[in-house]
Amino acid sequence: MNGAHDLGGMHGFGPVDPEPDEPVFHHDWERRVFALNLASGFLGQWNIDMSRYAREQMPAAEYLATTYYEHWLFGLEHLLVKKGLVKPEEIEARVAELRRQRVGRPAAGS
Amino acid sequence: MRVLKGADVEQVIRKSGGARVHVELPAKFKAGDRVVARNLHPLGHTRLPRYARGRRGVIDRDHGVFIFPDTHAAGTGQKPQHVYAVRFDARELWGEAAEPRQFVYLDLWESYLDPA
Amino acid sequence: MGKNHPKVDDYVVSRVRALESLLLEKGLLAPDAVDRVVRRYEASTGPMIGARAVARAWRDAAYRARLLQQPTAALADLGVRYDRLVVVENTPAVHNLVVCTLCSCYPWDVMGLPPTWYKAPAYRSRAVSEPRAVLAEFGLVVPQEREVHVWDSSAELRYMVMPMLPPGAQDLSEDELASRITREALIGVAEVTLPARAG
Domains of chain A in start order, with CATH, are 28-104 (1.10.472.20)
Whether the CB of A16 is below 8 Å from some CB of chain C: the reply is: yes
Of B2, B45, B69, the CB nearest to A43: B2
Out of C21-30, C35-44, C64-73, which region has the weakest mean confidence (pLDDT)?
Answer: C35-44
DSSP state of C195: P
Rounded to the nearest 10°, the torsion over CA B16, B19, B24, B26 is -170
- Exposure string over C169-179, b if 16+ CB within 10 A, otherwise e: beebeeeebbe
Amino acid identity, residue B22? H
Report pLDDT digits (tens) over A63-88.
999 999 999 999 999 999 999 999 99
> Which chain A positions have a beta carbon within 8 Å of B42's beta carbon?
1
> Which chain A positions have a beta carbon within 8 Å of B10's beta carbon?
none
Measured in whole angstroms, the distance separating CA C67 from the mean position of its chain's CA atoms is 16
Contact by Cβ (8 Å): A5, C120: no
Q: Report the alpha-carbon distance of residue C68 to residue C83 in Å, rounded.
A: 13
Q: C32 and C55, same structural domain?
A: no
Q: Report the alpha-carbon distance of residue C37 to residue B109 in Å, rounded.
A: 31
What pTM, to 2 d.p., does this model score? 0.94
Cβ separation C2–A94 shorter than 8 A: no
Q: C30 and C127, same structural domain?
A: no
* Residue C153 designated active-site: no
Whether the CB of B50 is below 8 Å from some CB of chain A: the reply is: yes
Residue C59 pLDDT more than 70? yes
Q: Report the alpha-carbon distance of residue C134 to residue A7 in Å, rounded.
A: 15
In a domain, C84, yes or no: yes
Q: C127 and C31, same structural domain?
A: no
Residue C52 sits in a domain whose CATH number is 3.90.330.10
| Nearest to C145, CA basis, from C94, C109, C99, C180 | C94
Q: C169 and C99, same structural domain?
A: yes
In a domain, C1, yes or no: no
In a domain, C159, yes or no: yes
Q: Report the alpha-carbon distance of residue B50 to residue B39 in Å, rounded.
A: 8
Q: C165 and C110, same structural domain?
A: yes
Q: C124 and C28, same structural domain?
A: no
In a domain, C196, yes or no: no
Cβ separation C40–B13 shorter than 8 A: yes
* Average pLDDT of chain C to the nearest whole number: 92
Q: Report the alpha-carbon distance of residue A42 to residue A26 in Å, rounded.
A: 25
Q: C103 and C21, same structural domain?
A: no
What average pLDDT does this structure show over C184-192? 98
Of C1, C18, C117, the CB nearest to A95: C18
In a domain, C89, yes or no: yes
Out of B1-10, B87-96, C48-57, C132-141, which region has the weakest mean confidence (pLDDT)?
Answer: B1-10
Whether the CB of A25 is below 8 Å from some CB of chain C: the reply is: yes
The C-alpha of C55 sits at a distance from chain B's nearest C-alpha, in angstroms, of: 24
Q: C72 and C128, same structural domain?
A: yes
In a domain, C197, yes or no: no
| Sheet strand arrangement including C94-99 | B113-115, B34-37, B56-66, B81-89, B102-109, C147-152, C94-99
Residue C1 pLDDT more than 80? no
* Residue C105 designated active-site: yes
Cβ separation B1–A56 shorter than 8 A: no
Question: Who has greater pLDDT, C122 or B8?
Answer: C122
Provide the β-strand partners of residue B53. none
In a domain, C174, yes or no: yes
Q: C96 and C26, same structural domain?
A: no
Whether the CB of B14 is below 8 Å from some CB of chain A: the reply is: no
Percent of all residues in chain A with a pLDDT value above 90, rounded to a whole number: 86
Find the domain containing C105 and state its range: 48-187
Cβ separation C15–A25 shorter than 8 A: no
The C-alpha of C73 sits at a distance from chain B's nearest C-alpha, in angstroms, of: 15
Q: C56 and C30, same structural domain?
A: no
Q: How many CB atoms lie within 10 A of CB B75?
A: 10
| pLDDT computed for residue A107 by the predictor | 54
Q: C53 and C100, same structural domain?
A: yes
Query: What is the tally of structural domains in chain C?
Result: 2
In a domain, C54, yes or no: yes
| pLDDT computed for residue B12 by the predictor | 67
Report pLDDT digits (tens) over A24-50.
999 999 999 999 999 999 899 999 999
Q: C168 and C86, same structural domain?
A: yes
| pLDDT computed for residue B79 by the predictor | 95
| pLDDT computed for residue A9 by the predictor | 98
Question: Which of A1, A16, A98 should we substitute to test contact with C (largest number of C Cβ atoms within 10 Å)?
Answer: A16
Domains of chain B in start order, with CATH, are 19-115 (2.30.30.50)
pLDDT level of residue C199 (50, 70, 90 thresholds): very low
CA C163-C53-B14 angle, to 5 degrees, is: 125
What average pLDDT does this structure show over C163-190? 94
Contact by Cβ (8 Å): B107, B83: yes
